[in-house]
Amino acid sequence: MRKEGKTNVMRVLDGKKISYESHSYEPDAGLSGEEIAGILGEDPGKVFKTLVTQGKSGAYYVFVVPVQAELDLKKAAKASGEKAIRMIKQKELLPLTGYIHGGCSPIGMKKPFRTFIHETAVGMDKVFVSAGKVGFQIELAPEDLIRVAGCTVADIV
């Protein structure tokens, strides 16, 4: 672990007494999710990215999907009960969530948003998500992630 210490995500998990393992790597927001999975020496199917969207109603939604998969906007709209969903612009991310592109986590956002996780996470022994800062990932049981982030499990890719 580098000297920066704990991220907000880690503090949230510590506060809820949820067990996790943290991993750090040289921070580079240009790395793809597949490249991060390679650095971690993990199957990309276990490494998840956090995507923030806005529905036609104006409500925001968070989708957690495997890094090698693409969010299906039609399935996302159906899961959230919206007519349509769009990805938010990168410049909207920080003021909305408190996280920057490449360091967005479903845990510890400024405000809670309805969050959905792809169904493949269920049944895995562990999953990886951003620890809220570029260069940091956390590894935890999917049921703990689902509980702490308030995720709904859905087919969204």
pTM: 0.95
Measured at the alpha carbon of residue 63, what is the angle toward residues 22 and 59, in degrees to the nearest 5?
130
pLDDT per residue over 116-134, tens digit each? 999 999 989 999 999 999 9
pLDDT per residue over 62-71, tens digit each? 999 999 999 9
Q: How far apart are CA 62 and CA 87, in angstroms?
A: 10
The answer to whether 103 and 130 have CB atoms below 8 angstroms apart is yes
Could you tell me how many helices (H) and strands (E) the chain has, helices first?
5, 8
The secondary structure of 46-109, three-state, reads HEEEEEEEEECCCCEEEEEEECCCCCCHHHHHHHHCCCCEEECCHHHHHHHHCCCCCCCCCCCC
pLDDT per residue over 1-59, tens digit each? 344 579 999 999 999 999 999 999 998 878 899 999 999 999 999 999 999 999 999 99
**Other CB atoms within 10 A of residue 27 CB:** 14
112: nearest Cα among 64, 60, 67 = 60
Q: What is the pLDDT of residue 4?
A: 56
Q: Mutual orientation of helices 8-15 and 142-149 as an angle, nearest 10°?
A: 100
- List the domains of the chain with CATH numbers: 8-154 (3.90.960.10)
Q: How far apart are CA 19 and CA 58, in angstroms?
A: 35
